[in-house]
Amino acid sequence: MKYETPLFVILACVSSWAIITVLARVLLLTYGFAPATFVFIQMLAGGLTLVLLSHKRIKVFGLSPLKQLHTWGFGFFRVISASFYVGSLLYVSATNGAFLGATNVIMSVLFVWLILKRKPKLIELPGHLIILVGWYLLVGQLDNQFSNPAVWMMLFSQIIISFAIILAETHPMNQNNNSGDTLYLTGIILLASAIILLILSYLASIFEAQLPESFYPEIRAHVSNFMLQDIFNPYAWIFGIFMGAIFRAASIYYSLRAVKLTTTEFYLGSMSIMPFLIFGLEYIAMQLNYLPSKAFEAQPFILGSLMTLGCLYIIYFKRNK
């Protein structure tokens, strides 16, 4: 599409991910949906919606995207990352969770250097140092600090998402500039992701069944985040279909478009502005009593803003693909 400039797709991507993050937190806390179940329904609904919208591509491509290892790899890493990300929202606000996610810029630069041989510039180093210092100080402001499960769940999630975005950038079917092809590819990826989540859910149920009754409750709880529980909950399907068909479909589509038009590092660095949009959406949700009211925490917000500056500093030097 002509209006899909790098700036437009980045802003659309940030907006869709921010909305889905806050909505997920509201619905998880309100209805107690199992994170994996909720994500599964969204992926299924989003995938079917996009495939139907781009039905003309079915005759052209058929199921060829499913023959690409990149499709399954991207789906696998996205599922793992999303499960840990959604799980972390049970322990921290969506704003602080998004600020913690700024570490993905450091990881993406490192992995892109090792995998794609795109060497970072020495001038980017101050930005990385700012992110590391900000992250360390931000964790110190959270409840239970480094013992807070959200810290490690988010860290693991960001490592995994870096690999996913590298696969998105190098996906053989994401090399042309045809947005219609990307729409169809996104739908297939979401359906593949739903299948992967089903498999992981089954494996998680087997693993949990082998754990002794006295095994660490917290670890057991994290394992259960991968399991499809309350799959027949009508509210999970109503909200899951709505979010999947609109926001999850849009977020994955614009992620693929953004990484095509820019780079892995630039895309992940640009996502560092997302916490500010999330902050605004969370404030609205609190005013409407959809989220519990919480006093504004100046220090975490300042530290998160500092990390964002570090991210923007880095991507300034990566603005040219």
- Number of folded domains that form the chain: 1
200-255 pLDDT, tens digit each: 888 878 877 777 766 666 666 666 666 777 788 899 899 999 999 999 999 999 98
Q: How far apart are CA 13 and CA 7, in angstroms?
A: 10
Which pLDDT does position 43 carry in this prediction? 93
Q: Could you tell me the two tokens for 294? A: 């919480």
Does residue 1 form part of some domain? no
d(CA 15, CA 251): 8
Q: Which of 25, 38, 7 is nearest to 235 (CA)?
A: 38
Cα(307)–Cα(125) distance, rounded to whole angstroms? 13
Which amino acid is residue 292, in one-letter code? P
- Pair 161, 77: CB distance under 8 Å: yes
- Domain span including residue 203: 6-316
The reply to whether 263 falls in a domain is yes
Residues with pLDDT less than 70, the chain: 1-2, 213-226, 319-321
Buried b (16+ CB within 10 A) or exposed e, 38-55: bbbbbbbbbbbbbbebbe
| 321 inside domain | no
**Average pLDDT of the chain?**
84
Location of structure tokens 């859910």: 201
8: Cβ–Cβ under 8 A, 6 or more apart, which residues? none
Counting every residue written for the chain, the total comes to 321
Within 10 angstroms of residue 120's Cβ, the number of other Cβ atoms is 18
Residue 295 φ/ψ region, left for φ over 0, alpha for ψ in the -120 to 50 degree band, beta for the rest: beta
> DSSP class of residue 245?
I
Are 57 and 181 in contact by the 8 Å Cβ rule? The answer is yes
Among residues 86, 96, 34, the alpha carbon closest in space to that of 282 is found at 96
Tokens 């590819």 correspond to 185
Q: What is the pLDDT of residue 249?
A: 92
| Residue 34: how many other CB atoms lie within 10 Å | 21
Where would I find the H helices in the chain?
6-31, 35-53, 56-61, 69-88, 94-100, 103-115, 125-139, 149-170, 179-210, 217-224, 234-243, 249-261, 264-270, 274-287, 298-316
CA gap 155, 151 in Å, rounded: 6
Give the pLDDT score at 319.
64
- C-alpha–C-alpha distance, residues 1 and 80, integer Å: 31
Measured CA to CA, the distance from residue 36 to residue 115 in angstroms comes to: 30
190 domain residue, yes or no: yes
Cβ 320 vs Cβ 133: under 8 Å: no
Q: How far apart are CA 203 and CA 76, in angstroms?
A: 14
